[in-house]
Amino acid sequence: MSRNSFKDLLPESRILDSVNDCEAYGHDWCRAYEGKASAVLLPENTREVQAIVQRAGEQKIALIPSGGRTGLSASATATSGEVVVSLERMRKIYGIDIAEQTIHCQAGVITEQIQRAAKEHGLYYPIDLASAGSSQIGGNIATNAGGIHVIRYGSTRQWVLGLEVVTGRGEILNLNGKLVKNQTGYDFRSLFVGSEGTLGFITECTLRLTRLPRSFPRIFCAAREMSDALRILELARSVSNSISAFEFFTEACLQYVLQHHSFRRPFSTVYPYYFVIEVEDMTDEESLRFQELFATALEQAWVSDVIFSQSQQQADDFMELRERIGETTASHYVVQKNDISVPVSSIPAFLRDVDELAKSTFVGCDILLFGHVGDGNIHLNIVKGEGLSRDEFFALCRAKESTIFELIAKYHGAVSAEHGIGLLKKDYLHYSRTMPDVELMRGVKRVFDPDGILNPGKIFDL
Ligand SMILES: Cc1cc2nc3c(=O)[nH]c(=O)nc-3n(C[C@H](O)[C@H](O)[C@H](O)COP(=O)(O)OP(=O)(O)OC[C@H]3O[C@@H](n4cnc5c(N)ncnc54)[C@H](O)[C@@H]3O)c2cc1C
Shortest-distance Cα residue to atom 8 of ligand 1: 147
Shortest-distance Cα residue to atom 50 of ligand 1: 131
Mutate to test the pocket of ligand 1, among 66, 86, 260, 276 (most ligand atoms within 8 A of CB): 66
Q: How far is the CA of 394 from the centre of ligand 1 (A)?
A: 22
pLDDT in tens, the chain (462 residues): 567 899 999 999 999 999 999 999 999 999 888 889 999 999 999 999 999 999 999 999 999 999 999 999 999 999 999 999 999 999 999 999 999 999 999 999 999 999 999 999 999 999 999 999 999 999 999 999 999 999 999 999 999 999 999 999 999 999 999 999 999 999 999 999 999 999 999 999 999 999 999 999 999 999 999 888 888 899 899 999 999 999 999 999 999 999 999 999 999 999 999 999 999 999 999 999 999 999 999 999 999 999 999 999 999 999 999 999 999 998 899 999 999 999 999 999 999 999 899 889 999 999 999 999 889 999 999 999 999 999 999 999 989 989 999 999 999 999 999 999 999 999 999 999 999 999 999 999 999 999 999 999 999 999
Q: How far is the CA of 143 from the centre of ligand 1 (A)?
A: 6
As for ligand 1, residues whose beta carbon falls within 6 Å of it are 28-29, 64-72, 75-76, 87, 107, 129-131, 135-136, 138-140, 142-143, 145-147, 196-197, 201-202, 326-327, 330, 418-419, 455, 458
Report the alpha-carbon distance of residue 306 to residue 312 in Å, rounded: 17
Q: How far is the CA of 139 from the centre of ligand 1 (A)?
A: 5
Question: Which ligand 1 atom sits nearest the alpha carbon of residue 327?
Answer: 1
Q: How far is the CA of 231 from the centre of ligand 1 (A)?
A: 33
Mutate to test the pocket of ligand 1, among 33, 40, 70 (most ligand atoms within 8 A of CB): 70
* Count of CB atoms situated within 10 Å of the CB of 434: 9
Mutate to test the pocket of ligand 1, among 25, 88, 127, 131 (most ligand atoms within 8 A of CB): 131
Mutate to test the pocket of ligand 1, among 125, 143, 253, 333 (most ligand atoms within 8 A of CB): 143
Question: Which ligand 1 atom sits nearest the alpha carbon of residue 136?
Answer: 25
Q: How far is the CA of 227 from the centre of ligand 1 (A)?
A: 31
Report the alpha-carbon distance of residue 61 to residue 66 in Å, rounded: 16
Provide the 3-class DSSP secondary structure of residue 39.
strand
Question: Which ligand 1 atom sits nearest the alpha carbon of residue 326?
Answer: 1
Question: Which ligand 1 atom sits nearest the alpha carbon of residue 200?
Answer: 43
Q: How far is the CA of 196 from the centre of ligand 1 (A)?
A: 9
Query: Please, are residues 136 and 109 in contact by the beta-carbon 8 Å criterion?
Result: yes
Shortest-distance Cα residue to atom 18 of ligand 1: 71
What letter does residue 339 receive in the DSSP assignment? Answer: E
Question: DSSP letters of 260-310?
Answer: HS-PPPSSSS--SEEEEEEETT--HHHHHHHHHHHHHHHHTTS-SEEEE-S
Q: How far is the CA of 356 from the centre of ligand 1 (A)?
A: 30
Question: Which ligand 1 atom sits nearest the alpha carbon of residue 76?
Answer: 48
Phi, psi dihedral angles at 47 (to 5 degrees): -60, -40
Q: How far is the CA of 228 from the centre of ligand 1 (A)?
A: 33
Question: Which ligand 1 atom sits nearest the alpha carbon of residue 137?
Answer: 25
Strands (E), 4-118: 15-16, 39-41, 63-66, 83-86, 93-97, 102-106
Q: What share of the chain is helix, strand, coil (3-state, %, to 5)?
A: 40, 20, 40
Nearest Cα to Cα of residue 166 among 140, 186, 192: 192
Provide the 3-class DSSP secondary structure of residue 416.
coil
Shortest-distance Cα residue to atom 23 of ligand 1: 139
pTM reported for the whole predicted model: 0.95
pLDDT for the residue 2: 62
pLDDT for the residue 229: 86
Helices and strands (DSSP H and E) totals, the chain: 13, 18
Question: Which ligand 1 atom sits nearest the alpha carbon of residue 87?
Answer: 41
Shortest-distance Cα residue to atom 49 of ligand 1: 196
